[in-house]
Amino acid sequence: MIELLINGQPVDLPADFSFSMEYENEFFTKASEYSLDISLPLEGSPNNQKIFGQIHRATTPKENARLESAAYVNGRCVSHGYAIILSVTDKDIKIQLVGNTSYVNYAGADTYIDKMDLGMACIRKPDGFSWTGNGYAYVPQSEYHKTFGSVDDTDMVLFWAYYKDPKDIVYDNLHNQRFPNSPWPTLSPAGDSELDIMDLAHYSCQPYLLKVIDRIVRAMGYTLRRNDLNHSWLRNLYIVNYKSNKSFGDWWKPDGSDEIGLPMASALPHWTVSKFLDEVEKLCACVFVFNSYNNTVDILQLDKFYGDTAEIYNVADNNILDEYEFEFTDSSEDKDIASCNISFKKGYTDKRLKVDKEVLDAIESHEHYGSYNELVAAYEAKTTVEKQRVLFIDDATGREYICNTDDKGNKTLVEVNVFGDFIRDAEVSSVELNIVPANTRKFAVGWWIDPGFIMDPSAGLDLNVPFTEQQQADSPEYTTAQDIIDNSYSDEQIDESSDVMEVMLSTGQWFGLASYKDVTYNYPAPFTDFNMPGATQGVVPEMSLSLKDVCEQSLGHMYRNIPRFRTNNTFIKKFLAKTVPDVRQPFMFHNQMYVCRKMNSDFESGTEDLIFEGEFYRIE
């Protein structure tokens, strides 16, 4: 017996009614639970007409109809979610049952995150701070956590973000920072370090990615139940937003509150929910698993998806109806970061940050060393001419270096290709990441000022500041390694920042970034790689958005350690089951462990036993 409920009401079914369900595993695919097309009668069925609300009439809206559904076979639930209306005539209606992640894919395909009501991203008012539209205000070190804090302290951070190359900034073209080479940071007369906030109209909403995920999930009607990212170094990612406010009046200031805020959606690109979730999954090597039965979502990192505590679904030998092996070729939508090449979509103004493989191959000599110290020793032993022809590679981290000539003609060893592609094999497919490290430039964000003589600039503080403009490359003319890198980009290249979401890391910590008169002063600072030049080099925690395995807390290390289950040899198993197995569980056949890519079943009115056929990968 088959029973189909729409909005809690049983629908009239044809006597020979049957339908098919697909159950996919989000670890391998982008879907979960869905049916093939189902045709239901409308003509001669007042009950169905009542349930679907006279939907066959032209005046009845059919787009985005949210109809709760559940299907039962012999009292066992085989589908729980929503019914999507595919087509309607006077005689019948065609629907598709979708549940869990499949429903979110459907609902999120036309919902744009920058148009959603995600509420305000807030910061707390530091003690003694007066929120005025203009003038100066100081945040003492003891209050940093309120405006520059961690994801546990605040929704967003008040860091700088330039809409053009900071070296070209003039006084009225500034976002999220004081004027260049003005007194920021400053030393207070008490000798404590303070950050100077000026005119909140210059600031933009730059929320933590973790907070954005939570708001979007909640706006979709789901509760975040488990979030592995919250226990990962990736929790420190925040979104760099270059769109500043037009006036201080854009800030939300509830009466009597110690918080102010900006609309969180203002920080986001024009992406659909589906694209946003897909990009977060790729960048963070995780999977969003939605449950439409209790409206919850779990964010599972791929290396924890099949944990030691996972419950195993054991299929007895006498329940196995058929099994065979065949060679399976992945479809394009099944590209996964465990086996593909990986690259960031965005190019960089500093052409040394991301270099094409063909460009690196064109450098005359590639020399590998076991450690950075060995590399430096070999570099120093070479003549100037020899240095300029070599790509120096540290095999311990994958970092690459060239002999660089700066604007003053000085030659130094400089890292290149920090955000270059992760190439596993030239023959395999590629995955492109649209959440990318922010474009940055090392820049003196301000002067240290002697409180005894306010006009005396004592020292500059060099930080890697984000900005959105890209420069044009020169005409090609290759001689040395630096020339090849400098001239290997088309002068037609344009800024693609609107197509990507730029991010940086902020731990909420503050660091001893500069000293004055034998006193070290602490300041917060965001970064994209712990080893990039500037005041943060060697000071911030070992974290990196590089696709190289530069440290344990790096994207490159994470991608290289994703467990791989997918193979070209796929096993087809046909078996009996009392209920619908969870395709995310490990399966046991003949005392051998398997993981399931997808299953399907055909349900007919006379069905007694549930029969499933699935595609499995064997765990060796």
Single residue among 51, 79, 108 that ends a domain in this structure: 108
Q: Where does 185-271 have alpha helices with state H?
A: 209-219
Give the sign of the dihedral formed by CA 220, CA 226, CA 231, CA 234. negative
Tokens of 502: 């730029």
pLDDT at 176: 39
pLDDT tens for 96-148 read 999 999 999 888 888 999 999 999 999 988 776 666 555 566 677 788 888 88
Of 303, 357, 369, nearest to 559 (Cα)? Answer: 303
Same domain, 138 and 240: yes
Neighbours of 441 (CB within 10 A): 17
pLDDT at 449: 47
- DSSP assignment of 393-426: EETTT--EEEEEE-TTS-EEEEEE-TT--B-S-T
Task: Decide: 484 and 404 in contact? Cβ < 8 Å.
Answer: no
Same domain, 536 and 602: no
Under 8 Å CB-to-CB from 436, ≥6 apart: which residues?
A: 344, 345, 346, 419, 500, 501, 502, 503
Single residue among 51, 84, 108 that ends a domain in this structure: 108
Query: Considering the domain boundaries, does residue 92 fall inside one?
Result: yes
Same domain, 138 and 234: yes
Task: Decide: 300 and 289 in contact? Cβ < 8 Å.
Answer: yes
Q: Where does 43-111 have alpha helices with state H?
A: 46-52, 101-107
Query: Considering the domain boundaries, does residue 535 fall inside one?
Result: yes
Query: Considering the domain boundaries, does residue 267 fall inside one?
Result: yes
Cα separation, 291 vs 293, in Å, equals 5
Cα-Cα-Cα-Cα torsion 255, 258, 262, 263, nearest 10 degrees, comes to: -70
Query: Considering the domain boundaries, does residue 531 fall inside one?
Result: yes
Query: Considering the domain boundaries, does residue 345 fall inside one?
Result: yes
The CATH number of residue 572's host domain is 2.40.30
From residue 76, how far is each of 16, 33, 71, 404, 491 by CA, in Å? 19, 16, 8, 69, 63
From residue 543, how far is each of 171, 371, 507, 527, 532 by CA, in Å? 33, 19, 10, 9, 11
CB-facing half-sphere around the CA of 83: CA atoms within 13 A: 24
Number of separate domains in the chain: 4
β-pair partners for 80? 70
Query: Considering the domain boundaries, does residue 445 fall inside one?
Result: no
Low-confidence ranges of the chain (pLDDT < 50): 59, 61-62, 171-185, 187-191, 332, 448-458, 470-474, 490-497
Task: Decide: 140 and 168 in contact? Cβ < 8 Å.
Answer: no
Domain that holds residue 184: 120-299
pLDDT at 71: 94
pLDDT at 193: 61
pLDDT at 178: 43
Same domain, 205 and 219: yes
